[in-house]
């Protein structure tokens, strides 16, 4: 009993002090976080700077505003996500995490010819084939019924779309020839469905 009474009266003195509030002066520039973060599976996050603001593209959702809430911490209200970042010894942001998922920050996609990905790809698992063609800066996949899906390159060999059933595809290329050999498609329900080049 005496201990509880002491804790009641001394709590204010025993508790650690509250950390000072984060001010705008404490916040790193939002440009520190721009880039592509690959959470694996069907989750690829793009953070895009526009002036002094930042938007997030988490396919298949359209780009939405981002709010800084602390040092190396951002909030995406419309997606109900909080993203926390880590830096290396030089101060460069290298990783991000949210809801138990961890991501590596990827290098931006280089200006390479998309023609290397063109061809017909088949999934034996699904019994479906897609014909992929390069059109300007996107890859367009057409199924046998003529339905077309557009994919934009975010990082080397990683492309994002705007449909829930194929939000992300990852191309695999031959290390010697550089030509694409297959791609893997993932969504929230099915992961790593492989489409082999050749029909």
**pLDDT number for residue 111:** 67
The DSSP bridge partners found for residue 151 are: 139
Q: What is the dihedral of CA 48, 154, 108, 192, to 10 degrees?
A: 130
Same domain, residue pair 82 and 61: yes
**pLDDT number for residue 91:** 95
Tokens linked to 117: 């990905």
What parts of the chain have a pLDDT lower than 70?
A: 1-26, 111
**pLDDT number for residue 8:** 46
Angle at 109 (CA atoms; ends 96, 130), nearest 5 degrees? 105
47 within domain boundaries:
yes
Same domain, residue pair 86 and 145: no
| Domain range enclosing 165 | 114-197
Give the end of a domain, one of 106, 137, 154.
106
Same domain, residue pair 88 and 127: no
> Which H or E element spans position 57?
strand 53-57
pTM of the model: 0.77
pLDDT in tens, 55-111: 999 998 999 999 999 999 999 999 999 999 999 999 999 999 998 899 999 877 776
Output the CA torsion sign for 60, 140, 142, 123. Answer: negative
């Amino acid at each position: 009993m005496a201990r509880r009474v002491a804790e009641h009266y001394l709590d204010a003195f025993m508790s650690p002090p509250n950390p000072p509030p984060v001010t705008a002066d404490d916040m790193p520039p939002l440009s520190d976080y721009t880039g592509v973060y690959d959470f694996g599976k069907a989750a690829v996050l793009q953070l895009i700077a526009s002036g002094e603001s930042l938007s997030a593209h988490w396919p298949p959702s359209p780009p939405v505003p981002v709010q800084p809430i602390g040092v190396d911490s951002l909030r995406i209200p419309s997606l109900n996500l909080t993203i926390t970042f880590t830096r290396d010894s030089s101060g460069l942001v290298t990783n991000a995490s949210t809801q138990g998922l961890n991501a590596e920050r990827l290098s931006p996609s280089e200006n390479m010819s998309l023609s290397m990905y063109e061809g017909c790809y088949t999934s034996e698992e699904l019994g479906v084939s897609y014909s992929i063609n390069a059109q300007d800066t996107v890859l367009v996949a057409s199924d046998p019924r003529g339905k077309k899906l557009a994919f934009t390159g975010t990082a080397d060999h990683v492309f994002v779309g705007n449909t829930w059933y194929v939000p992300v595809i990852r191309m695999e290329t031959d290390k010697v020839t550089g030509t694409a050999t297959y791609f893997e498609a993932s969504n929230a329900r099915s992961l790593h469905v492989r489409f082999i080049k050749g029909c």
